[in-house]
Amino acid sequence: MAEVLVYVDHVDGAVRKPTLELLTLARRIGEPVAVALGSGAENTAAALAEHGAVKVLTHDAAEYADYLVVPKVDALQAAYEAVSPAAVLVPSSAEGKEIAARLAVRIGSGIITDAVDLEAGDEGPVATQSAFAASFTTKSRVAKGTPVITVKPNSAPVEAAPAAGAVEALAVSFSEKATGTKVTARTPRESTGRPELTEAAIVVSGGRGVNGAENFSIIEALADSLGAAVGASRAAVDAGWYPHSNQVGQTGKSVSPQLYIASGISGAIQHRAGMQTSKTIVAINKDAEAPIFDLVDYGVVGDLFEVVPQLTEEIKSRKG
């Protein structure tokens, strides 16, 4: 069976969920071979094996932390040359997309970014994408070279599928370009204790209707009752009520959770562009004509200051 390279996103050996989702998709088209780089790379093996990796190629070097993406591209290319895979799958983070794009250029292959599904096809893997703010769903396949495909978080379930996960050291020699852009400082983001916005299974977002930074505590309380991440519309971010890192939309982050709850958000096209592929969409808005209601699965016409706290209490009592 053909091998499929899966680029591993991990933090000191802790594999992030989107990579486990990639393994589910990789198993549809071949045998997953994982590529884990940097500090703690070898510690990823158990989780990757549990989810279907037949092999885990690892390499650690100071360059991965000290320079931007090129050392990782060099290593992924080395893995590509060692394995001759049927496809290369990379998580659709900003970094993942840059790594994938650079690899595709180097190996002369076509690339598909932000896939939301992947299936085997007679002429190679077929990727589903959601285009023009999810007005269209497209299916495409790479027509040249080895498909390089980046996949959005929450596009597939995480499934246990135990495999050998044999760890092998990857031989990497860095190119001259590897050290072109040095990391000069790092400031860890303060942890909110909530899941990462782009990876969360549930996102609760607030917009201009929240009417003030202090009122975002209502949105946060609902999010916490569900173990969700908090998002915000650009109007709320521009007003300084919530950090830009939480903005959902065309000029913010793109999310695709199982459940998206929009409160006090009108549903402008630029907001929809970042959340329209969510599996189930719920909106709370006091204006029954708000465009957000055109795309929801469930809508509540009402004042968020009444509806959201009631919803939070109800969820808490049912969990109770």
Ligand X SMILES: Cc1cc2nc3c(=O)[nH]c(=O)nc-3n(C[C@H](O)[C@H](O)[C@H](O)COP(=O)(O)OP(=O)(O)OC[C@H]3O[C@@H](n4cnc5c(N)ncnc54)[C@H](O)[C@@H]3O)c2cc1C
Looking up tokens 């158990």 gives: 46
Spatial distance between the Cα atoms of 96 and 299, rounded to a whole number of angstroms: 35
Between residues 268 and 315, which has the closer beta carbon with respect to ligand X?
268
Region binding ligand X by CB under 6 A among candidate stretches 52-60, 80-88, 112-120, 232-240: 232-240
Contact 219, 210 (CB under 8 A): yes
Annotated ligand binding at 249? The verdict is yes
Annotated ligand binding at 211? The verdict is no
Is residue 287 close enough to count as binding ligand X by CB under 6 A?
A: yes
Spatial distance between the Cα atoms of 314 and 207, rounded to a whole number of angstroms: 22
Contact positions with ligand X (CB under 6 A) in 197-226: 207-209
Find the shortest distance in angstroms from Cβ 108 to ligand X: 34
Annotated ligand binding at 234? The verdict is yes
> Phi, psi (5° rounding) for residue 206?
-120, 150
Is residue 235 close enough to count as binding ligand X by CB under 6 A?
A: yes
Spatial distance between the Cα atoms of 121 and 24, rounded to a whole number of angstroms: 16
Find the shortest distance in angstroms from Cβ 236 to ligand X: 5
100 contact partners, CB below 8 Å, separation of at least 6: 7, 88, 90, 111, 113, 148, 149, 150
Q: Outline where DSSP puts E strands in the chain.
A: 3-7, 10-11, 14-15, 31-37, 55-59, 87-91, 111-119, 126-131, 136-140, 148-151, 166-169, 202-206, 229-232, 259-263, 280-285, 298-301
Q: Which of 221, 305, 315, 316 binds ligand X (CB under 6 A)?
A: 305
Annotated ligand binding at 109? The verdict is no
Between residues 84 and 251, which has the closer beta carbon with respect to ligand X?
251
Find the shortest distance in angstroms from Cβ 279 to ligand X: 20
Is residue 286 close enough to count as binding ligand X by CB under 6 A?
A: yes
Annotated ligand binding at 267? The verdict is yes
Contact positions with ligand X (CB under 6 A) in 247-266: 247-252, 264-266
Contact 168, 204 (CB under 8 A): no
Is residue 301 close enough to count as binding ligand X by CB under 6 A?
A: no
What 249-254 contacts at long range (C-beta under 8 Å, 24+ apart), as own/partner pairs, is 249/273, 249/274, 249/275, 250/133, 250/274, 253/197, 253/198, 254/114, 254/152, 254/198
Q: Which of 303, 309, 313, 314 binds ligand X (CB under 6 A)?
A: 303
Between residues 129 and 247, which has the closer beta carbon with respect to ligand X?
247
Annotated ligand binding at 269? The verdict is yes
- What dihedral do alpha carbons 273, 278, 282, 284 form, nearest 10°? -30
Spatial distance between the Cα atoms of 151 and 172, rounded to a whole number of angstroms: 25
Annotated ligand binding at 208? The verdict is yes
Annotated ligand binding at 106? The verdict is no
Annotated ligand binding at 274? The verdict is no
The closest alpha carbon to 89, from 131, 136, 151, 28, belongs to 151
Q: Which of 92, 150, 276, 285 binds ligand X (CB under 6 A)?
A: 285
**x/- map, 23-62, ligand X, by CB under 6 A:** ----------------------------------------
Residue ranges of the annotated binding site for FAD are 208, 233-234, 247-251, 264-271, 285
List of residues contacting ligand X (CB under 6 A): 207-209, 233-236, 247-252, 264-266, 268, 270-271, 274, 284-287, 290, 303-305
Residue ranges of the annotated binding site are 208, 233-234, 247-251, 264-271, 285
